Amino acid sequence: MKPALKSVVSLLIKSGRIRMAVSTLEKYLPHHGDDMELNLLLVDTHLQNDDPEKALEVASSLNQDVTSVKVLQARSHKLLWEKNKEGGLEPLNKAADVLLSVTDRSAEVVSMLGECLQKAGRGEEALKVFEEAVTAGVLTSGYQRPESLTPGLKGQPVWSDLELKPVEISSEEKEDIVQAVIYKGLFGEMEGGNGKEGVWGYFGLNENGKWLSEECKAVPKICAKLKDAGYGSVGKTYISILYPSSSTYSHSAPSNEMLHLIIPTSGTTNLRIADKNLVLNEDPVVIDPSFDKEFFNEGSDAAVVIITSIPHPDL
């Protein structure tokens, strides 16, 4: 029964029917109440359903000494904070304290713990966590902080030696982005709770290597040029918008298997990645997003960039 149940739940989640996945698990769990794997799946599904309260309710009934339970509890507290940042830092501190009790820390635990500590204003503790992870061989750099670290891949925050096909975007096409995406308000808030001040917007053009036909209708020339240049085969391609006087928390990508090509189109974006400070206003730049980074817009106009994922050259 369990493998079949897991398959059904997985299919429901992939098809976007997350509430039905929750109902399915809740229907069968009374018959398998002590099954840790199914209970953990239920907690994770509640989180995907944007319901951290329910996730915490289930997680609190499980064995608190199990690392996977602690990780899900921390994710629940973190999501509570993301949904109500005005409510204070208590959920972030709870998430951090739960993860601090994990002794055998994976890259995922270290990444989340460091993020929670930083956002809660506990920067010195975060630095100590990252330094200990480097010493233990969990991370290769105090700045490179993915949840899952694929070993053997070259790691550097900025890549200046890659030969990539250029994408020529005219002034008219750059203005089209402003008119079609910003003025029409098509963008949404960037996911992940990393927006610190102001507005950090997101308009997706490609997901998991597939171009989004409806979204590309807003900027058809941009999508066509990126596609013709061979981009968009992996990961995401999106327009990132940072309003004046806006900034992000420091954050890192969950994997080191992809790089990001950043193409500035409007305004000036300031990027701090690892110990390097970049000004993005004209020339494209390639970064490894698994390195700790934060974006700022200190100008008077919206800063707009196109970001597209490219495979790590060592893969």
| CB 188, CB 201: distance < 8 Å | yes
- How many residues does the structure list for the chain? 315
Distances (CA, A) of 50 to 10, 84, 94, 213: 17, 12, 18, 27
Q: pTM, whole model, 2 decimals?
A: 0.81
Distance CA 197, CA 140 (A): 30
CA torsion sign for 223, 228, 230, 233 is positive
Q: At what angle do helices 2-14 and 18-28 cross, to 10 degrees?
A: 160
Residues of the chain with pLDDT under 50: none
pLDDT at position 31 is 61
C-beta neighbour count of 298 within 10 angstroms = 12
DSSP 8-class letter at 289: T
Sheet containing 269-273: which strands, arranged edge to edge? 195-197, 246-248, 293-297, 269-273, 276-280
